[in-house]
Amino acid sequence: MWKFFHQMASPPHFYRIAKVLIPWFAVPGLMLIAYGTYAGLFVASPDYQQGDAFRIIYIHVPAAYLSMMAYMIMAVGGGIGLIWRLKLAHAVGAAAAPLGATFTFLALVTGSIWGRPMWGTWWEWGDPRLTSELILLFLYFGYMALRSSIDDTAKADKASSVLALVGVVNVVIVHYSVVWWSSLHQGQTLFKKGGPAMDADMLYPLLAMILGFTFLFGAMLARRLRTEVLYRERRTRWVRDLVMSPEGGL
Amino acid sequence: MTAKLSGKDLTLIRGESCLFKGLGFALNPGELLLLEGRNGSGKTSLMRAIAGMLSLEKGEIYWNDIPVNRQRQEFHGALVWLAHRTGLKGDLNLVENLRFEASLRPQGNVDLAAVCDRLAIARLKRLPLRSLSAGQQRRVALARMLLADVPLWLMDEPFTNLDREGRKLVMELTEEHLLKGGMCVMAAHQDIEINVPVVRVGL
Amino acid sequence: MDALAMGNYGAYVWSCFGLALIVIVFIEWRARVRHNQVYRDIEVRIKALEEQP
Amino acid sequence: MFAGLLAVARRDLLLAWKRPGDVLNPLFFFAMVCTLFPLAVGPSPEQLTFSGPGVLWVAALLATLLSLNTLFMSDHEDGSLDQLLVSPQPLPVLALGKTLAHWLISGLPLVLISPLLAMTYRMPGDAMGVLMLTLFLGTICLSLLGSIGAALTVGLHRGTALLSLLILPLAMPVLLLGANTVSLAAGNEVYATGIWALGAYAVGAISLAPYATAAALRISNE
């Protein structure tokens, strides 16, 4: 088991394997998303309260889910990087941050677009999820700003990992405090937990979208990781051999 | 091979350049480790690495044959570091500065008055450090080093800002410390005249 | 056409799906460009070094 | 074990005593932000009573933030941070000592003058007590969170702006809990939850933040 991890974590090995793996993530991901989009837009029957506007959840929910997962990945990667001094783990954080910020942005914008017909406003402070997502976006900005303002890569890795770990504790506190706060102000929520059970024709496309987005995210993360690894290892022997080899190493 | 302080296979990469690679040293009581090299060759970095403030790309520093990372507090209790910047507060006077240092570590039985007399800073005791000259401030830093009464001295360019008399004093103090069985790591680009065994590391 | 209009909510729903598509394609394209750029930079530097005696 | 904490705290207080400007600047800032608000929205008593808790809390947060970037700066510049890092005391304890001194210098004075400003916002007497209590707990949390940010940005050129960017999202729950608890108290509603939550946050921060600060100091001082 350990041997497997060590092999995976060795940069040249990862660089080669990731190239092979990317299509294996991207193709099923795109297929699931294609099915989810078609079934979500045209097959699922309209919600009895929200009408066709509910179809926005097929983008909003996967994006919101990935925005949090990306932060978790960043924090776990940072923790592993700090404890076991694994350089690849730090690279994961660097690659996941812009992706996470993008999905947070998507979740915010789609939530806001949903709010326009439902609440009659583009932004509703009373909604705890949108507010938490906004704070999460700021956390991503802070992480990326810290990373970019430290020139030395090793130092930037460690400093931003500490920030990610502090942030992940905070994300939980943010969530609960915002829920408490909105309950004071009788806010409405986008999708209630334990609400009326979803019909199968609504639910399956959503599950397909979530799974599809996750696969797609994996592929995107792997592609960014390859760039990170290549850049970080630019002075090493294996990169030289790769670049000088006749078939190239793009 | 057992040495009190040793380093094995030390490699440090800073940004784009490799400062040293596969470097090793061993130091025993009564010896002086002299780090030699041009400006920017990594003397200060190596010293910071020895003090445990820089993580190395590869290699390990040992104190009593145990890696210092595993016994940071014990190791730090046995060393004092005379750095490029004095690490003293300009707003506080000599006595206040030294009292702060004293409260951070158990003190040996070294007499403050005697140390101040020796370093010729006794009459500056009540002045804020800001108003002293650079050379006088360095003498205060030396006083802190003497008061700590620990076996290992790390001295980064100890002669800067000192006049001839001061330089001579530093060499005398170092020699006494080594003859008592202490150890010293010194980075200097000047010639030193100390009659003790010297281990040289070229960078 | 009714299926596309989605009972007056069409503009909102389609803009969400469209935006998601545009954003994801854009960042993926940027990632590709950056990867190629990093690779070229390394290639140029290494080849320049190799040609030196 | 706590010798280092006391030593560092005592030294920082002594330094603040010799430079009282560092203590007074955040206080003046706090008072001025609180003055700006009525000037901007008008002096109507209902509006001031309604927004008072929020304004006072935002002002306190910004004033704390303002004082944070000097937390490790002078130590970094004169090399005494290096000396702390090689001292035989555990670094988290020293970091806690520095944070304690920072709180005594910039947090506690805010708590003490807050009733004066709350009075100008016509805050009822009971709510004033709650305001002081939440600010007491809240400034402790903010100093501790801030010490992590200050340690991460020490020695960076664009440190000040970056520090705000890092700390503000982390500080949002504290602001939210504090200000809303005071609002509840001012409206004669049940407010105990917020106090307990802030207290729990403070306890958690005291026990965890020094480790993060210590790790961050070692990293940014490499």
Task: Give me the interface pTM, i.e. the ipTM.
Answer: 0.89
pLDDT of res. C4? 66
* Residues D208, D193: Cα–Cα separation, whole Å: 22
pLDDT of res. D110? 94
Nearest by CB: D78 against B73, B87, B101: B87
- Residues in chain D closer than 8 A to B87 (CB atoms): 78-80, 82-83
pLDDT of res. A86? 84
- Residues in chain B closer than 8 A to A81 (CB atoms): none
Q: Contact at 8 Å (CB) between A101 and A141?
A: yes
Q: Shortest CA distance to B32 belongs to which of B172, B198, B193?
A: B198
pLDDT of res. A50? 73
pLDDT of res. A197? 56
Integer angstrom CA distances of residue A242 from A13, A91, A234, D102, D154? 12, 20, 11, 53, 39
pLDDT of res. C1? 59
The interaxial angle of helices C10-51 and A57-84, nearest 10 deg, is 30
Mean pLDDT, rounded, of chain A: 85
From the CB of residue B153, how many other CB atoms can be counted at a distance below 10 Å? Answer: 23
pLDDT of res. B13? 82
Integer angstrom CA distances of residue B148 from A153, B50, D88? 36, 18, 11
Whether residue B16 lies within 8 A of chain A, CB to CB, comes out as: yes
Which tokens go with B73? 């507090």
Nearest by CB: C3 against A42, A224, A239: A42
Question: For B60, phi and psi rounded to 5 degrees?
Answer: -145, 145
Q: Contact at 8 Å (CB) between D23 and D105?
A: yes
Q: Stretch B156-172: mean pLDDT, rounded?
A: 87
Q: Contact at 8 Å (CB) between D90 and D4?
A: yes
**A 47-86 residues with CB < 8 A to D:** 82
The H helix count followed by the E strand count for chain D is 10, 0
* Residues D46, D121: Cα–Cα separation, whole Å: 9
Q: How confident is the model at residue A57 (pLDDT cuts 50, 70, 90)?
A: confident
Q: How confident is the model at residue A187 (pLDDT cuts 50, 70, 90)?
A: very low
Whether residue B83 lies within 8 A of chain D, CB to CB, comes out as: yes
Residue A7: pLDDT above 70?
Answer: no
* Number of independent structural domains in chain D: 1
Q: If residue B10 lies in a helix (H) or strand (E), which one and from where to where? A: strand B5-14
Q: Stretch A51-61: mean pLDDT, rounded?
A: 84
Which tokens go with A133? 């997502």
Q: Shortest CA distance to C44 belongs to which of A243, A166, B72?
A: A243
Domain ranges of chain A: 23-187+199-244
pLDDT of res. B157? 87
Question: At a CB cut-off of 8 Å and minimum separation 6, what does A186 contact?
Answer: A126
Residue A189: pLDDT above 80?
Answer: no
Q: Contact at 8 Å (CB) between A36 and A208?
A: yes
Cβ–Cβ of D4/B104 closer than 8 Å? Answer: yes
DSSP annotation string for B145-164: HHHH--SEEEEESTTTT--H
pLDDT of res. C5? 67
Q: Shortest CA distance to A159 belongs to which of B3, D198, D156, D30?
A: D156
Report the predicted TM-score, pTM, of the whole model to 2 decimal places: 0.90
Mean pLDDT lowest among A79-83, B33-37, B146-150, C4-8: C4-8
Cβ–Cβ of C31/A220 closer than 8 Å? Answer: yes
* Residues D57, D123: Cα–Cα separation, whole Å: 13
Q: How confident is the model at residue B1 (pLDDT cuts 50, 70, 90)?
A: very low
Range of the domain at D53: 2-221
Q: Contact at 8 Å (CB) between B34 and B68?
A: no
Question: For B19, phi and psi rounded to 5 degrees?
Answer: -80, -45
The alpha carbon of A90 is separated from its chain's Cα centroid by a whole number of angstroms, namely: 16
Mean pLDDT lowest among A2-16, A183-197, A207-221, B121-135: A183-197
Integer angstrom CA distances of residue C49 from A163, A235, C52? 38, 11, 5
- Secondary structure of D90-127 as H, E, C letters: CHHHHHHHHHHHHHHHHHHHHHHHHHHHHHHCCCCHHH
Mean pLDDT lowest among A9-18, A89-98, D52-61: A9-18
Nearest by CB: B53 against D19, D80, D86: D86
Most confident of B106-115, C35-44, D39-48: C35-44
Mean pLDDT, rounded, of chain D: 91
Taking the CA atoms of B138, B141, B146 and B149 in sequence, report the sign of the dihedral they define: negative
For A131-140, the pLDDT digits (tens) are 889 999 999 9
Q: Contact at 8 Å (CB) between B91 and D15?
A: yes
For B20-78, the pLDDT digits (tens) are 888 888 888 888 898 888 887 888 888 988 988 888 888 889 988 888 888 888 899 88
pLDDT of res. A199? 72
Q: How confident is the model at residue D219 (pLDDT cuts 50, 70, 90)?
A: very high
pLDDT of res. D96? 95
Sheet of strand B66-67, all strands in order from the earlier edge strand to the far edge: B17-27, B5-14, B58-63, B66-67
Cβ–Cβ of A113/C12 closer than 8 Å? Answer: yes
Q: How confident is the model at residue D134 (pLDDT cuts 50, 70, 90)?
A: very high
Neighbours of chain B (3+ CB pairs under 8 A): A, D
Say which residue the tokens 């930037």 belong to. A156
The alpha carbon of A71 is separated from its chain's Cα centroid by a whole number of angstroms, namely: 7
The interaxial angle of helices D45-68 and D125-153, nearest 10 deg, is 30
pLDDT of res. A194? 44
Residue D99: pLDDT above 50?
Answer: yes
Cβ–Cβ of B14/A152 closer than 8 Å? Answer: yes
From the CB of residue B103, how many other CB atoms can be counted at a distance below 10 Å? Answer: 17
Interface test with D, best of A162, A163, A174 (most D CBs within 10 A): A162
Residue A192: pLDDT above 70?
Answer: no
pLDDT of res. B39? 80
Which tokens go with B111? 């007499």
Q: How confident is the model at residue A214 (pLDDT cuts 50, 70, 90)?
A: very high
Q: Stretch C19-24: mean pLDDT, rounded?
A: 94
Share of chain D above pLDDT 90, in %: 64
Distance from CA of D155 to the nearest CA of B (A): 15
Neighbours of chain D (3+ CB pairs under 8 A): A, B
Residue A22: pLDDT above 50?
Answer: yes
pLDDT of res. B86? 87
Spell A3-27 as b/e; 16+ CB within 10 A means b.
eeeeeeeebbebbeebeeebeebbe
> Do chain C and chain D touch with ≥3 beta carbon pairs under 8 Å?
no
* Residues D54, D41: Cα–Cα separation, whole Å: 14
Mean pLDDT lowest among A2-11, A59-68, A152-161, C37-46: A2-11
From the CB of residue B98, how many other CB atoms can be counted at a distance below 10 Å? Answer: 21
Whether residue D152 lies within 8 A of chain A, CB to CB, comes out as: yes
Which tokens go with A215? 């696969």
Q: Stretch A185-213: mean pLDDT, rounded?
A: 69
Mean pLDDT lowest among A46-50, A217-221, C36-40: A46-50
From the CB of residue B28, how many other CB atoms can be counted at a distance below 10 Å? Answer: 15
Cβ–Cβ of A152/B16 closer than 8 Å? Answer: no
List B18's β-bridge partners, or say none: B13
Which tokens go with B29? 């009581």
